[in-house]
Structure formats: C-alpha cells, structure tokens
Amino acid sequence: MKQEISSSTVCPVWVSGANGQLGRCIRDCAASTDSRYRFLFTDIAELDITDGEAVNRFLVENRVEVIINAAAYTAVDKAETDIAAATLLNSSAVAGLAQAARAHNTLLIHISTDYVFDGEATVPYTVESPLHPISVYGATKAAGEEAIRASGCRALIIRTSWLYSVYGHNFVKTVLQLGQAAHELRMVNDQFGAPTSAHDLAQAIISLLSYRSVIKDCVVLHYANEGEISWYDFACAIVELAGCHVVVAPVPTSACPTAARRPRYSVLDLSRIKTEFGITIPCWRDSLKQVVERLLQF
C-alpha cells in the first residue's frame, strides 16, 4: 500500500464515539490538521450508532467519505454479565456501520483490540494470527471484526492495546490517583503487552486518511506504542515519572481475580503499519512521559 492520494476536494470524515478517550484525542489532532478534511464529531447523544436508519441518513446528508468508529463498549469486566449491551455496541452496531459503509462506498476505519487473542503466544501477534478471545468483551470485538469482513465494505481494522490518555478512565490515571492515596500498589507481573497513547493512535489514524482511496477491501493493522512490558512495569514507570513515593509490589494474576480473563501475552506485531503505511511509532516510555506530565499539570 505505497500510494498516497492528493486531492483538492475536502473529505468529510465522521468520528463516532467522539467523547471517548480516543475520540477526544482525534478531536485534538484534527484541530491541528490541514483543511483537507472536514471532521464531524458525534457521540451517543447526537448519533447512536445502534440506530441503523439514523446512521444511513447521516452518511447521505453529510456525504461522509470516511467513518472512524471510536465508539465501543469498553468495560471489560462488566461485559461478562452485560453481554447483550456489549454485543449490541461491539458487534451488531459495527455490522450496521459496515453495511452502511458498503452501501455508500464509504471507508470504515474501525478500532479493535488485542483482547481478540487468547494470549497463549510467545511472540507478537501478527495481523493474520487467528482470533481466539477469552472474554465476552474480546468475543464481541472479534464478532465486530468478522461482520466488517463479511460485509465486503472497504475497511481498515486497527487493533490496539492498553489505551490511555489525559481523558476518560484508564490505567495511568488510576495509578496516579492510587499513588497519592495508598502506601502500596499490587500490580500483576505475568501479563505482558504494550501501552498505547491514544494521542499517538489518533495521529496515526489521521495520517492513514491519506490512503483512503487506495484501500479497496478489508485491511487489518496493528498499532501500539513500541515495546513490551507487564502491568507491573507500566505502574512502576508511571510512579517513577510522576515522582510518587508509593511502593509497587509485583503479584501474579492469581492474586488479583477479575470477572473477565485477560490474555497473558498480547503484544501486537507492528510491522505492517510501519512498512506498508509508513507510520512511525514512538516508544511507550516517551509517550507515557508526555501524558504523565500533562496530567500532573491539571
């Protein structure tokens, strides 16, 4: 996928779930992006993506050329019992978006997750690795991906992992809050992955927009920050960068039971997005430092 397009017409880009942490980072990046794109930001109050008729109407009325779907059901543990709601948003609504994208020849950029994998691997998962989710959240996201493939729409499915930002609820903000209140934090040191700054992912998504006309079918990409660490390593880095004095204690997963199972190892192979799409990816620690610094200013 070497060819980039240059067009003189303005491209309408719809971002759904625009009040979520990724959505808000896309808003920030869009504000400093050139005027080749006209961004339309909606969240559930303006446009519920489970409402197929409203979605179709919106696409037609706004001549949308690209959908960036940042809406999702992301409460991993709650999904274990809230199966219908997770399925509606992560699977059925995504199927509806894909069918609408197919009908209007719109490119669908959809965000998926490392939790579509079971974590039994010992080397990074490639874009071709078979899906085998071990949680309801992972299963509903995998079904969303399958629905996109089955629809025949033009799509970019971007899997990411361990997302954090200055917005919303995420691991970095939780550790910073607990770091001020607790004496000791117990963090699992036998689950490995890669943290991802939602700001970096947002910038990558906007860069990928220049490929919109050359994507003819469904392309799967992986984007995470460079590196491979445990949640314990991640927490230690947050505490260190923030100058907190809390002790971080390593514990096994068995000491921290959760409703949903997590993959033991969910590192994503990033080679395709780097080599075929020319996206450069910062190291996890550099991006974390920027976000921690911003959070400490609040």
Ligand X SMILES: NC(=O)c1ccc[n+]([C@@H]2O[C@H](COP(=O)([O-])OP(=O)(O)OC[C@H]3O[C@@H](n4cnc5c(N)ncnc54)[C@H](OP(=O)(O)O)[C@@H]3O)[C@@H](O)[C@H]2O)c1
113 lines the binding site for ligand X (CB under 6 A):
yes
Which residues face 247 on adjacent strands? Answer: 184
Q: Which of 33, 50, 230, 290 binds ligand X (CB under 6 A)?
A: 50
Q: Among residues 73, 115, 137, 232, which one is catalytic?
A: 137
Sign of the CA dihedral with 18 first, then 20, 24, and 30 last? negative
Which range binds ligand X by CB under 6 A, 157-165, 214-222, 228-236, 267-275? 157-165
d(CA 84, CA 135) in angstroms, rounded, equals 14
The residue among 212 and 262 lying less far from ligand X, judged by its C-beta, is 262
- At 71, give phi and psi (nearest 5°): -85, 145
Question: CB of 291: closest distance to ligand X in angstroms?
Answer: 13
Q: Which of 13, 59, 86, 89 binds ligand X (CB under 6 A)?
A: 89
74 lines the binding site for ligand X (CB under 6 A):
yes
User: Taking the CA of residue 89 as centre, how many other CA atoms within 13 Å lie in the half-sphere pointing to its CB?
Assistant: 23
Name the nearest CA neighbour of 77 among 138, 164, 146, 167: 138
Radius of gyration of the chain from Cα atoms? 19
Question: CB of 252: closest distance to ligand X in angstroms?
Answer: 22
Which range binds ligand X by CB under 6 A, 94-102, 119-127, 161-169, 253-261? 161-169
Sole residue written with tokens 């199972």: 261
Annotated catalytic sites, by residue? 137
Q: Which residues bind ligand X (CB under 6 A)?
A: 16-17, 19-23, 43-44, 48-50, 70-72, 74, 89, 111, 113, 141, 160-163, 168
